[in-house]
Every structure is written in C-alpha cells, then in structure tokens.
Homo-oligomer: A and B are copies of this chain.
Amino acid sequence: MPTYALPRLSTRALAMKASEIRELLKLVSRPSMTSFAGGIPDPALFNVGLFQDAYRQTFAGPSIAREALQYSTTEGYLPLRQWIAGRMAGMGVACAPDNILITGGSQQGLDLIGKLVIDAGDTVATAQPTYLGALQAFSAYQPTFEALDAPRAACPAKLIYLVPDFANPTGETMSLKARHAALAQADAMGALIVEDAAYSALRYDGQDLPTIAALDQARTGSIESTRTLYCGTFSKTLSPGMRVGWICGPAALIRPLVLLKQGADLHTATINQIIIHHAAVDSFDAQVTRIRSVYRTRRDAMLAALQRYAPEGVHWTRPEGGMFVWVTLPRHIDAGDLLKQALRADIAFVPGSAFFPDGSGKNTMRLSFSLCDEAQIEGGIYKLCELVGQVARRVEMVVGA
C-alpha cells in the first residue's frame, strides 16, 4: 500500500510553535507545588451556589430549558447584551445591544478582531512585554509586531493592543495621560485600538481610571465614531470555565465581527449566556467585592514578602489590581534556568521572555498571587528569593562582577 504526501500546512500553521514553558508547567503541575505561574482565578472563590441556583431555575421551566439547549443568534442572548450595555454606560461608554457581540471569552474577541483587521504583513503595536494569548491570537493572521513606544513611521500600525488596567504580565496600569496619548497615537496612525479589560474589575487601591473606550467616546459623543474595540470577560470575576466574554464597539465594526463569528462557531453556548446573565444580574457586584478583598490581601502578602526577602538588584512592580507582579532580576540571571531549579523546590512561575514577541526579557519573571493563600505566598517567595540569591552569587563569581 503506497502512502501519499499530505498537503503542506498553511504558512500560519507552519510558523506556530508550542510554548515550551506551557508544556513544562503542564508536566510538572502537582498538588505540593506553590504555583505563582497560572494567571487564573482561585476556584475556591467561585460562587458555586449562585450557579447551582441559576441552573436550577433555568431547568424549572421546560420552555426556557429548551431555549437554553437550542441554537441561538450569533450576536448573543439579548438580555445579557442589554445588561452589558448598561454596565458599559456606567463606565462612560453609552451604547446599545447592537454595539455588543458575545464571544467565547475575551480570547475569542482577540481572534475575531485579528481576523477582521489583519492582512499578512500588517503591523500590530503592543506593549512589550504583553499578554501571550494576544500574540497567539493575532499571529494567526501573520502581522509584524512592533513595540508601542517605538513606532516606525514607515509602517503605521493598523491595530494597537492595550491592557490599560493591571496588565498581564506586568501588573502595571496606564495613567490617564498615557491613555490620552494612546488615543492620539491611534488617530495619527489611523489605527484601531483593542482595549483588553480582562482584569479591570479587580482594583484593590486607588481610583478607577476612565476606559480608553470612554475617553474615545467623550471626544465625539457617540460610540459610532470611536476607534476602540473593548474586550470584556466574565472569566476573572464569575467563572472562566463558562467561556463568556464580549466585544463592545461601533456597530459598523460589530456587524462584520458577527459574520466572522458565525463562520467561526455559529454562536457562544446559549445556556452559558443565560446562566451568566442570571449570575450577573443577581450578584456581579457582590462577587467582585468579595474576590477583590481576598486578592488584595494576597497581593499585599506578595509585595511584603518581596520587600522582606528579595536580594539586592531585584526590582518589581506594585500593581493596584489584577493578579500579577512583574519581577526584574539582575541582568545576568536567566529566569528560564531559574525556573528549572525552582520547580525542584516546588515553586512555579512564568519566565518573562514568554511575553516578549522577540523572546527578550530573559531576566524577568511573572508572579501571580491569585491562587495561593498568604502563608503559601510568604513561604514561596522566601524560597524563590533564596534561590535567586544563590544564583546571583554563582553568576557573580563566573562573570566576576
């Protein structure tokens, strides 16, 4: 029996590579581990009773249960879009349900926006470092990535990707001035802004800053004349396993996004949209208040432990919210090597180079405080800092600093 060649994969697929770090972390995950790696909510904070009730009520009436199990429109469940539109208005983004597309988490929002805008060779500007999943989503459409702060006049970006609040991976927040500047930069380049608001609800200190979508709308008075696509999600607040997020933007862009989503997966699971709507109406604010207070304590514990144990030459961000602290090690330390040693000591984190499109940032790491309690954080940071100190002394001897 002869075998025949398979076709060459697409150029985009040939360019993909699995993240070594993801694979490594998948292999070594074990219960004894103190993990500062995953940027995921603590499942102990999920409001299980709330979801249980929502499902019970949905199945109490056969008519709503059948609706929940049936196909539905690509745009999404209208009551959920209405609730989201109300929330967006509360943040200064006056909009209608037609300005909202429900997506499979905000990750799908990024994929659809890439599909909408990017032709091969177009420029996408991002912070460096930035969210790995955004790089992955956009890469499928084969753009060139550029650093936000180093635009080359020769190839103005079509898309500017921003995580204004408590960014993944740095934990940093854009100042009001920086938000205005980003808008002015987008105007000058004729670029679309993707505002990824994944962590925005999780503020622990200070005042909320206006979203870029709100600043954009404030200039002209209508969402229809804005250049910002706002990506929201219920993953960090209610539940990531439900995969419900949204894009909010001008209807002229939402309409083609709806068509792209229709081709991509028809629609987000009907029942999940009904349940998330139920949960959001019932207790979104209470849930946010509750998890903010827990995560705030954990952030404080991590910052205090770093202050106490970090050897000289180690620097880190002080996030006002979100899930991440970004650590910069002395220049000669490779966080990838450090990870291998840390895993042997049952500590996990993500080396920072994973978040740079060009793989730089070898001496950085992302620490998440969302999954560990204060004692684990204290113990884990102590052990990690010990390791950093040992490696630093060894490197100094070799380098002869």
Please give the residue numbers on chain A whose beta carbons come within 8 Å of chain B beta carbons, in ascending order: 1, 3-13, 16, 18, 26, 38, 40-41, 43-44, 46, 48, 51-52, 55-56, 59, 62, 65-73, 103-105, 107-108, 111, 115-119, 122, 133, 136-137, 139-141, 158-159, 186-188, 190-192, 219-220, 225, 227, 235, 239-243, 253, 255-256, 259-260, 262-272
Contact = CB atoms under 8 A, between A and B. Distances in A.
Given A4-B186, A10-B117, A136-B263, 7 more contacts: A4-B187, A13-B260, A18-B259, A52-B59, A52-B65, A69-B242, A111-B263
From A11, A55, A133, A140, name the one whose CB has the most chain B CB atoms within 10 angstroms.
Answer: A55
A242 B71 CA distance: 8
Contacts of A225: 3
A-B CB proximity, top 4 nearest: A241-B270, A136-B263, A43-B66, A104-B265
Contacts of A66: 43-44, 46, 48
Given A71-B241, A242-B271, A269-B269, A137 B4 contact: no
Q: Copies per complex?
A: 2
A13 to B, nearest CB: 5
A59 B51 contact: yes
Nearest to A241: B270
B55 A70 contact: no
Contact of A13 (B256, B262, B265): B256
Nearest to A184: B4
A99 to B, nearest CB: 15
A6 B192 contact: yes
A213 to B, nearest CB: 15
29 contacts: A1-B219, A4-B186, A4-B227, A6-B190, A7-B158, A9-B117, A10-B118, A10-B141, A11-B119, A26-B73, A38-B71, A46-B65, A48-B65, A48-B66, A55-B56, A71-B235, A72-B241, A107-B263, A107-B266, A111-B265, A133-B262, A136-B262, A139-B263, A241-B270, A241-B271, A242-B269, A243-B269, A264-B264, A269-B272
Nearest to A227: B6
B59 A46 contact: no
A306 B43 CA distance: 57
B69 A59 contact: no
B71 A119 contact: no
B269 A137 contact: no
Nearest to A5: B190
